[in-house]
Amino acid sequence: MAPAMDKFLHKLRNLDAYPKINEDFYNRTLSGGVITVLSSVVILFLFFSELSSYLYTVTETKLLVDTSRGEKLHINFDVTFPAVRCSILSLDAMDISGEQHLDIRHNIIKKRIDANGNVIEAKQDGIGAPKIEKPLQKSGGRLEHNEHYCGSCYGAEESDDHCCNSCEEVRDAYKKKGWALSNMDLIDQCRREGYIQRVKDEEGEGCNIHGSLEVNKVAGNFHFATGKSIHQATIFLADLISFQDNYNISHRINKLSFGDHFPGLVNPLDGVQWVQGPNHGMYQYFIKVVPTVYTTLWGRVIYSNQYSVTEHFKSSEFGAIPGVFFFYDINPIKVNFKEEHVPFLHFLTNICAIVGGIFTVAGIVDSFVYYGKRTLKKKMEIGKHG
């Protein structure tokens, strides 16, 4: 048993790829020391370079068909109108499914600004005077004040018992009829609430409007108009108030995004400014929204969107109403971003390659220098003896 084991161990010993040399035969040189130091420095440099690459997060990108259904699209905006008063600036939205949101005020904040851009007043839910408590009463064909009142809708009543007890309700009644309400001085509710006076008091002011919208994830549009919108047969009109300077729709888009922010997201309309020329009309942005899912290294999933945009101005000479319109369409392709590290085994393989490769190259250089010096020395000695 023992001879067979000794024979096996002897064969295994012959397979040693790293034969050991007795220290008595070592010959240490200055050049070898220099090469060892330099190779160690190079190894350290390449090691930390590889380590930084391993710790650096890479983003993998995939394109998929977006099969999601019934989701909502979250729109964040911050737009400044230097020449439009907050009292007459309205926000409306609609989509191809037929859903409409007119004069949106939920999650919207308006800031009155002066000519220098300083904030005068900031309020949520729109800016305007409170509703009156006792508007004019319809009674026997004449208007009077009464404890049990029913305000007149000035011809826009839907039925005999339809009441308009505020300026807002009169405007809504006209909106449903598709009528434009241009002379509000004739509306008692508006006059008593001080709506017209409030608009006049804001002369020369601008408005910053910011907030968010939640709409169906289908093609649609939202827009800022100088007046309450009137929807007729998929066309938006507006009950414009007779102040010509309000037609100036010069604007600056401080922020416009569709969904939450994620690393590397660029919104092309952020910071865009447009100044109106001599003609007033409708400024349009046509936006292509690309659904995007971003997964962080720690597993957090961010649902957002990227978008591209083209712009167009339509003059009122061609029937365009003053306003800024954002038409958006949803791309059927979804982009998936996923943060990842370089695999650890790949990192370990690279480290072994660096260490082994540098020592091998350094050994070749050292041998070349050592044997070159020895050869040169022998030639010099032969030359002396000769």
Same domain for 335 and 230: yes
Tell which of 163, 193, 223 closes a domain.
Answer: 193
**Average pLDDT score over residue span 241-269:** 82
Is 14 a member of any domain? no
Same domain for 335 and 241: yes
User: Domains in the chain: how many in total?
Assistant: 3
Same domain for 240 and 372: no
Q: Is the pTM of this model over 0.95?
A: no
- Give the C-alpha separation, 328 to 218, whole Å: 9
Q: Which domain holds residue 68?
A: 64-123+209-340
User: Is there a contact between 136 and 145 (Cβ–Cβ < 8 Å)?
Assistant: yes
Average pLDDT value over all residues in the chain: 78
- Using DSSP's 3-state secondary structure scheme, residue 88 falls into helix
Q: What is the pLDDT of residues 212-254, one digit of tens each?
A: 999 999 999 999 987 655 444 344 444 444 444 447 889 999 9
Same domain for 229 and 85: yes
Q: Write down the pLDDT at residue 173.
A: 79
Q: Write down the pLDDT at residue 218.
A: 92
Is 165 a member of any domain? yes
Same domain for 351 and 336: no
pLDDT at 308 over 90: yes
Q: Give the list of residues 6+ apart from residue 227 with CB closer than 8 angstroms, or none.
A: 88, 90, 238, 239, 240, 241
Residue 179 CB neighbour total at 10 angstroms: 17
Same domain for 225 and 99: yes
Same domain for 261 and 141: no
**Average pLDDT score over residue span 247-269:** 92
Name which of 172, 173, 180 is nearest 239 in CA terms. Answer: 180
Surface-to-core class of residue 74, CB atoms within 10 Å of its CB (0-12 exposed, 13-18 middle, 19+ buried) = middle
